[in-house]
Structure 1
């Protein structure tokens, strides 16, 4: 058996007496870039191994509404389109399969980033997600910050309102206002996050925006609608600050005296935000095996 022949040596460069250093380097790069790859000693090219990035585990709350899992999966399909090759999995806190603990148990040893599809710093983010990570000692887990508040959410909220019929011409916004309907939480930081999003949306729309809640906090959505009406706002829209359809989103929309926007769903801005939270979490310090870290920003 004969050994494969060595690859041909590069042809000598014919230099010109007036070649500049830049021109010469360009010609060297072009010639050596066109050379065939050096074969492995057995005559085949050695494959380049690329380490797999940490798994993105999107964490949805879960809902009895059958539209919710479909909507969340459509959002994750958009995430996969934006980042081909990134392993993306789904886990639910409750009500829907797969549960988060089951998703984590099925992952191979390594790193994972939990990205909550939740909109504020409530109990689920601070307690349920780190608790689920503790059940997977074979993983190094980072828990990303919740999706809100962030300008990309405002972009998606504005788009959903526009789809529902939102129109505000210059000089006609005096009687128009918006209720930002959220799930609600007893955690004061979660409420602060929702109010921050309401302020950002108000700046985007140029009209008053009040944060209101479907449970656990006040004002309720109907209370916010009545308050705005009492102030002379005869066109009050409800913006749905929910990732997917569900009982709270449906109840909130029913309270709208004018238009009600659909939940955020698989909007492109939301998919970009999921990846942004994933990337921010990865930029933090490594996590020891069998532990987790909550990223707060």
Structure 2
């Protein structure tokens, strides 16, 4: 039986699948701040210490929770995740794409590549849809409480997960296998079979890597924001993204049509490659 090619759909989370930052759907309110106050303090900490914005927001979460008597366990983060708002059609999207892939002879896998918190995403209504979630996370003490950042994912760190998906590596800690030399034909998911979804600055290096090696990147934007639409169009014009699409994940949306067309192309290229090598 002929093996089906795997197509990886890789998503940023905040601004791509959800219209806001995940901390804004419960956590920030629980510590008595408005989103504006929290991010102003976090950004101020990063600038004042000349530090990573990602590590700064993780410290702010830790400090503000402790001040307000909130014990940050994995279960606490996952509870905040259940109230995350998602863009139109996101809940049904995965089933639609999986069905299209199955009917067109490809296997679909979905991944998250986010600077948000893995623990919050794990509590979201769509967590079960992902083959793996690459995102920031905390270390936990013997009581199961967060005590230190374990993984901080910024714009450059995001690129390592593209390489890991390419080689079929799901450990965030691994640094040996991901850097080992592997023949192209032995890599689990070729770059040409990747579709990257992103909306902001932290996605640019990952988009560039995927497109540079023959994959596709879609710059998504909140359809209610002219500013975000203009930014997405700028990414396409600069060659960072292959296409733009509003964050409408319904069957009638442009994103669905784009992905179906890309899947068709990936399958055709895969079949032609097999024919060329006389394996089909």
TM range, smaller chain: 0.3 to 0.5
TM-score, normalised to structure 2's length? 0.35
- When Rg is computed on C-alpha atoms for both structures, the one with the higher figure is 1
- Structure number with the higher helix fraction is 2
